[in-house]
Amino acid sequence: MTPSFIVSLKVLIIDVPILFFMGTLIGWTLAKKQFKGRTLVDTLVVLPIVLPPSVLGLYLLMTLSHIPFIRESRILFLFRQPL
């Protein structure tokens, strides 16, 4: 097997149970409870379905680039090749 396939399986084994429990908890909370900020949580849950990943990534990059700590630590463009 290729190393990328092994990494994908490891991520899958860790990621699926976490997303299952988080998704179930958030879904149950949105269906049964009324709380302040419910519309915001609902929007954040539906956003990846509505927007393509490239657009969501661009919005995330634009939002995070305004945080001084992240901009100064050069985390956002860590994998960019030097010119």
Please give the chain's pLDDT, 83 residues, in tens: 778 888 888 889 999 999 999 999 999 999 999 999 999 999 989 888 887 878 878 888 888 778 887 777 776 666 555 55
Total-model pTM = 0.56
| Stated length of the chain | 83
The confidence score (pLDDT) of residue 38 equals 93
In the DSSP assignment, the letter for residue 76 is T
The confidence score (pLDDT) of residue 77 equals 64
Q: Where are the alpha helices (DSSP H) in the chain?
A: 3-32, 38-50, 53-64, 68-73
The confidence score (pLDDT) of residue 76 equals 66
The confidence score (pLDDT) of residue 29 equals 94
The confidence score (pLDDT) of residue 6 equals 87
